[in-house]
């Protein structure tokens, strides 16, 4: 797990062809918008969250965010424990994000 600043996260993500963006916020938070192409798995789902993570490709590079960076940090630590090779936490979360945000379909 690695904490990245907003700038580091954006730059690294833009140059990573093995990247997956993961949003770990609640459904209500996601309704306010999501970073383009992100997949959503709510960290508050407990065991269901872990079950969903287990379905993901552990060789991908995961760029993880939440509202402020706390829950995504927890998610990255869980992912490390589950054997994910690369999980990057967005410091400051989506509230400090200056990139694109799209509505959820």
CATH number of 2-96: 3.40.250.10
pLDDT tens string 22-45:
999 999 999 999 999 999 999 999
Distance CA 56, CA 92 (A): 25
pLDDT above 90: residue 105: no
Domain ranges of the chain: 2-96
pLDDT in the model for residue 104: 83
Token reading at 53: 């993570």
pLDDT tens string 53-86:
999 999 999 999 999 999 999 999 999 999 999 9
Burial of 98: CB neighbours in 10 Å, binned 0-12, 13-18, 19+: exposed
Q: Report the mean per-residue pLDDT for the chain.
A: 95
3-state DSSP call for residue 40?
Answer: strand
Residues annotated as part of the active site: 66
The whole model's pTM is what?
0.95
3-state DSSP call for residue 61?
Answer: strand
* Gyration radius of the chain's alpha carbons: 12
């Amino acid at each position: 797990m690695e904490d990245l600043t907003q700038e580091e996260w954006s730059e690294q993500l833009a140059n990573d062809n093995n990247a997956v963006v993961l949003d770990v916020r609640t459904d209500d938070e996601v309704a306010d918008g999501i970073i383009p192409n992100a997949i959503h798995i709510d960290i508050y789902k407990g065991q269901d969250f872990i079950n969903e993570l287990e379905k993901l490709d552990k060789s991908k590079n995961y760029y993880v965010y939440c509202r402020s960076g706390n829950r995504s940090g927890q998610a990255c630590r869980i992912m490390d424990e589950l054997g994910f090779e690369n999980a990057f936490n967005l410091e400051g979360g989506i509230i400090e994000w200056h990139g694109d945000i799209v509505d959820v379909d």
